[in-house]
Every structure is written in structure tokens, then in C-alpha cells.
Amino acid sequence: MFGLSNRDMVYSNSRYHVHCSGSAHSRNKTLTRVIIVVCALLLVAATQCSIAAPMPVWPTVGPSEPQHVGYLVVYSATEPFNDGDLMYYTHTDYELYSARGAFLKKIRNSIVRGDETPKRVPLPPGRYLVEAQSEYEGTVRVPVIIVDGRTTVVNLENDRRGGYRPSASR
């Protein structure tokens, strides 16, 4: 148009003739594109910083006890454990059954190997059977009742009279 090169452009309307040099116009276009790209990148960066990555939600940590719970402590037969310096007498593990005789779980009767205190086991209230080693009678099954908020104690160790005390509830 009007003898200008392809890089030159002429805009006209009825009153004014505006002539833009092609090189200045392409610099303006390039600058405009750069500004648009930078703004877009800033916008993306700003939204990425304000939007946190989704965090995984893990299951609750800690003991899961029913709302109504009683406890069971079994003083089963003991077995010696030598840690190298001292001798400990830890209570043997035992098995827990439903009142009808269905196996429920095996109870490790100490927190650590050298622990001489039997484990306090939380259980839903109800009737159970405990199968454990007695000091003098071998393996025995003892029916127990777990009451809400109470501790049922099964003592299969010998007492001062040389026998064992049957289950008691405190």
C-alpha cells in the first residue's frame, strides 16, 4: 500500500492517515505478547501458590476402643527370661474365645519381653472364655464376664495357699 514494503502498514480513516513503520509495529506486537505471557505466568504462579496441594488424610492413630469398654487382666503362668543381667518372670500369652467357644484372638500378655506385669486388655462388655497356662494345672479355660468400666482379673498363679484364685472382678 502506497509503495511501502510488506513490513510497513498504513491505517487510514476519513480524517487521519496514520503510518506505522513495520519494525516499530512488530516491536510493539512482540512487547505486547511478552507482557501477556509474563502476566499469564504470574497469574499461574500466583494461583499455584495460593492453592495448596491436596493433603492425604490418614486413619486415626491410637487405640480404637468401643464407647463401652471393660478390661481383662490375666495372671497366667510365668516363664523365666534372662536379659543377660537380670532374670525376669513374664506371664505367658493366652487365647480369648467367645462364650460359645469361637476363637477371637491371641493376647500377648506383656508389653515387652522382660515385662513382669500382665497386659490390661480393653474388651466390649460380655462373656468370654480365657484359655491360658496355669502355674500348676497346665492349660485351663476360664469363663469370664467383662463389665463396662470395670477390670476383670483372672489369677492363675499360685497364692499363699498353693492353689490358684478363680476369676474376680474389681
Quick: pLDDT tens for 101-130: 999 999 999 877 777 889 999 999 999 999
Instruction: Assign domain 70-169 to a CATH class.
Output: mainly beta
Q: Which of 8-12, 35-39, 57-61, 75-79 has the lowest mean pLDDT?
A: 8-12
| pLDDT band at residue 150 under the 50/70/90 scheme | very high
Q: What per-residue confidence (pLDDT) applies to 163? A: 45
**CB-based contacts of 123, cutoff 8 Å, min separation 6:** 69, 70, 71, 72, 96, 146
Q: How far apart are CA 126 and CA 134, in angstroms?
A: 23
16 pLDDT higher than 60: no
Q: How far is CA 153 from CA 23, 71, 146, in A?
A: 96, 8, 10
Cα–Cα distance measured from residue 150 to residue 144, given in angstroms and rounded to the nearest whole number: 12
Q: Give the model's pLDDT for residue 143.
A: 95
| Average predicted confidence (pLDDT) for the chain | 77
Which residue spans within 29-119 are E strands per DSSP?
70-75, 78-82, 87-91, 94-98, 103-107
Q: From residue 54, how far is each of 42, 44, 119, 150 by CA, in Å?
A: 22, 18, 40, 44
Output phi, psi for 123, to 5 deg. -140, 150
pLDDT at 33: 87
| CB-based contact 129:121 (threshold 8 Å) | no
> Any idea how long the chain is?
170
- Is pLDDT of 27 > 60? yes
* First-to-final CA distance of the chain: 107
Is 65:148 a contact under the CB 8 Å cutoff? no
Highest average pLDDT, of 27-36, 37-46, 71-80, comes from 71-80
* pLDDT value at residue 3: 47
